[in-house]
Amino acid sequence: MLVEPYLFFEGRCEEALEFYRRALGAEVTFLMRYRESPDPASIRPGMEEKVMHANVRIGNSTLMVSDGLCSGRASFSGFSLTIALAEEAETRRLFGALSEGGKVEMPLAETFWSPCFGMVTDRFGVSWMVMTEAPE
């Protein structure tokens, strides 16, 4: 069994993909636009070039993303995506990149479970927890 998050950016998916490419080294492994749909009658005017579905690899994980209904009102609540890293320098780098245009919820700090942990909501409203794994 595999559980993978599916994020709907409601019209900002292309922008999000570019942001995550720069910030996290994300790689788009599959992308389909609405114009490529086997049911063209279901496409609303103006959505042809929007992202219907994409698979995005970040490290060893895959996210699925879409522009959804292009409502312009993405809503990401009740969850956080978590990145656990071996090196504190990389934790700091990724946290800083995700913070650009976003909001730091908890600055990076030592906790009882991690030598470096922080929480940020990125510019798209996606919540992230970024941490350095504690040494064994």
Q: What share of the chain has pLDDT > 90, as a percent?
A: 93
Q: What is the pLDDT of residues 31-60, one digit of tens each?
A: 999 999 998 888 889 999 999 999 999 999
Output DSSP code: residue 83: E
pTM of the model: 0.94
Q: What is the CATH number of domain 6-66?
A: 3.30.720.100
The answer to whether 6-66 and 81-132 have equal CATH topology is: yes
- List Cα–Cα distances, 73 to 44, 76, 106, 129, in angstroms: 17, 10, 25, 23
Q: What is the CATH number of domain 81-132?
A: 3.30.720.110
Q: Give domain limits for the chain.
A: 6-66, 81-132
Contact status, residue 67 vs residue 8, Cβ threshold 8 Å: yes
Helix (H, G, I), strand (E, B) or coil at 78: coil
